[in-house]
Chain A
Amino acid sequence: MSTTVIGLASPAMPAPRESMLRLFAAQFASSKLALLGLVFLVLFLMLAIFAPWIAPQNPFELATLNIMDSKLPPGSVSSNGAMTYWLGTDGQARDVFSAILYGLRISLIVGFVTVSAAFTIGATVGLISAYFGGRIDALLMRIVDIQLSFPAILVALVLLAVLGKGVDKVIYALVAVQWAYFARAARGAAIVERNKEYVQAARCMSLSWQRILWRHIFPNCIPPLMVIATIDLAHAIALEATLSFLGVGVPVTEPSLGMLISNGYEFMMSGAYWIAFYPGIALALVVVAINMVGDHLRDILNPRNEI
């Protein structure tokens, strides 16, 4: 099939690195939806990073809030005439647009930190498990099985009940939920690689196992792990939003998108829909954009997996 870049992983192909990257880029660009998703993702990243400079108001600076401006519909002008609330204001007179930018920051930080940590822990466990096999493998994989047999939302709920509220605690809970997916994928990929000739050659050179594992096997396991990482990034952001919505996630002082939606929920019935609606749209766009990218990456990197 012409859509295979798996060859990228094989050391038998001495093509220069740059052209492979270009090949990959060309393949990625073959799906307009995935490109659109990537554009949105980059846009949201920029918005989150530069939030303090873009946002018309700092929603945490309580002194700047004017309680007369609370629950204004989108497009209203503030009572001192200084700014327009394009997306309206919430119950505490915060500009919804500014709150979204800051909320986006928290959501994305939780997502990226969670996935990086889960990737590191999971890949280490998976690679060690595959490389040594035997009892270590059986033990580690049994732990992974137990972990995966509990649904993510339940494990996170119970953990957060123990740990309490806080951005860092949400991250611990999400890492505890997600590392197992990486461990399983890394082990699967590494077991295939372990018996290939280049690994045998490396063993013959009596390189240390750490070196073989990280410098030889690991780079070839990256493609499937990247797919998992993208999908889990979207998953982590959605899960954090759900937990915050249920009231066990981030504290009120550091509202993520899920928290903003939860706050707006009570006003929705009385018709002030914009307080929950616009953060909801932002959340949906982020999650869908990441999933569009992930879905296409999966098509490119493992064409056999059709589901």
Chain B
Amino acid sequence: MSALVFTALYLVGDPVSMLASPEATDAERELIRQSLGLDLPLWRQYLIFLNKALVHLDFGNSFLTGEPAMRLILDRMPATLELATAAMALAVLIGVPLGIYAGLKPESLGARSVMTSSVLGFSLPNFWVGLMLIMVFAVFLHWLPAGGRGPVETFGPIQLSIFSWEGWRSLILPVTTIATAKCALIIRVTRAATRECLPLDYIKFARARGLSEARVLGVHLLKNILIPIVTIAGLEYGQVFAFAVVTESVFSWPGIGKLLIDSIITLDRPVVVAYLMLTVVFLSLLNLVVDIIYTILDPRVQAKAGA
């Protein structure tokens, strides 16, 4: 995986041509090349990279700013985490109730319009939704800022913007943009799971016992449809976190997605490689977390694993 990314980026282009000023002489260019270690053959570069990355967790310095690539990314990570977490929370909070409703009364007018608008939700391109939101709420109504991040408060190395009203105001539009697409997906998964569970005996039994509808749905049904929802929400959370490239570009949100696209365009290899490695690690961890949640939600999973 790391070799694949490394070789692919090697082919992308010559970073020296981006870094050196157009008037630089050949000798100056060669100097830059040597100082960055780009004069060595590819396999030597890769071995040096592997050694540093595995032993010291050092992915090299950014060609552009000279700072360690990992530091650059970690600095920007809280902004993206904040965005992704708020967006997924919103998507789940809206998506699950709507999905259950659509599953309960699939033929009703309300359910149909929910399903139709969910097609809208996942088919509209992300940047389009963002632009329209900016146009209505920032340009016409002047209610919310069009981009950027509000004032941040520092907690040790982490900076968060959710503790001020201004911070929330800047969060609303990008969060809504991401949540629109994810919400549509969660509605569909919830609806399918609900329709599958509803005809089962235990729901009929719960109803026969005269339990309130709220309890039947909120406890008995919800517990059993949670597994597909957790799976989708977990995977999508990873996607939002790792590839918020588009939304962050539209709203100039200073997160890692914006950093990635800037680095791809300026051919800042160490940052791109470090970013992709970090993402792979993060996604694997997330998968592990989802698996652990399974065993809590569904005791049968654990029983099978022990047998």
Q: Which residues of A contact B (CB under 8 A)?
A: 33, 151, 153-154, 157-158, 161-162, 234, 238-239, 241-242, 245-248, 258, 261, 265, 268-269, 271, 273, 276-277, 280, 283-284, 287-288, 290-292, 295, 306-307
What separation, in Å, do the CA atoms of A162 and B123 have in the docked complex? 28
B44 to nearest A CB, angstroms?
A: 22
Bound together, the chains give a CA A248 to CA B267 distance in angstroms of: 13
Determine the chain B residues whose CB is within 8 A of the CB of A306 once the complex forms.
191-192, 195-196
Q: Count residues of B near A (Cβ-Cβ below 8 Å).
A: 38
Instruction: Please report the C-alpha to C-alpha distance between residue A65 and residue B245 in the assembled complex, in whole angstroms.
Output: 36
Residue of B nearest to A279 (CB): B128
Is B192 a contact partner of A276 (Cβ separation < 8 A)? no
B284 to chain A, nearest CB (A): 11
Contacts of B218 in A (CB 8 A): none
Q: Using A154-B243, A162-B11, A307-B189 as known contacts, say yes or no to A288 and B119 having CB atoms under 8 A apart.
A: yes
User: In the bound complex, what is the Cα–Cα distance between A10 and B49 (angstroms)?
Assistant: 57
Partner of B131, one of A276, A287, A290, A295: A276
Of residues 135 to 174 in B, which have CB atoms within 8 Å of A's CB atoms? Answer: 135, 139-140, 146
Listed residue (B122, B125, B188, B249) with the most chain A CB atoms within 10 angstroms of its CB: B125
Ordered by A's residue number, 23 sampled pairs between the chains whose C-beta atoms are within 8 Å are: A33-B116, A151-B243, A157-B245, A157-B261, A161-B264, A162-B12, A234-B123, A246-B245, A247-B265, A248-B265, A261-B127, A261-B131, A268-B135, A268-B139, A269-B146, A276-B131, A284-B124, A284-B128, A287-B123, A287-B124, A288-B123, A306-B191, A306-B195
Query: Which chain A residues border B195 with CB–CB below 8 Å?
Result: 306
A283 / chain B contacts, CB cutoff of 8 Å: 125, 128
Q: Once A and B bind, how many residue pairs between them come within 8 Å at the CB atom? A: 91
Considering the complex, give the chain B residue whose CB is closest to the CB of A157: B264
Q: In the bound complex, how far is the Cα of B304 from the Cα of A260, in angstroms? A: 55
Residues of A within 8 A of B116 (CB): 33
- With the chains together, A234 CA to B122 CA distance in Å? 11
Residues in B214-259 with C-beta less than 8 Å from chain A: 239, 242-243, 245-246, 249
Tell me the smallest distance from the CB of A165 to a CB of chain B, in Å: 12
User: Are the C-beta atoms of A161 and B124 separated by less than 8 Å?
Assistant: no
Chain B, Cβ-Cβ closest to A264? B131
Instruction: Tell me if B8 is interfacial: C-beta within 8 Å of chain A.
Output: yes
Q: Which residues of A contact B122 (CB under 8 A)?
A: 291
Say whether B188 contacts A268, CB under 8 Å: no
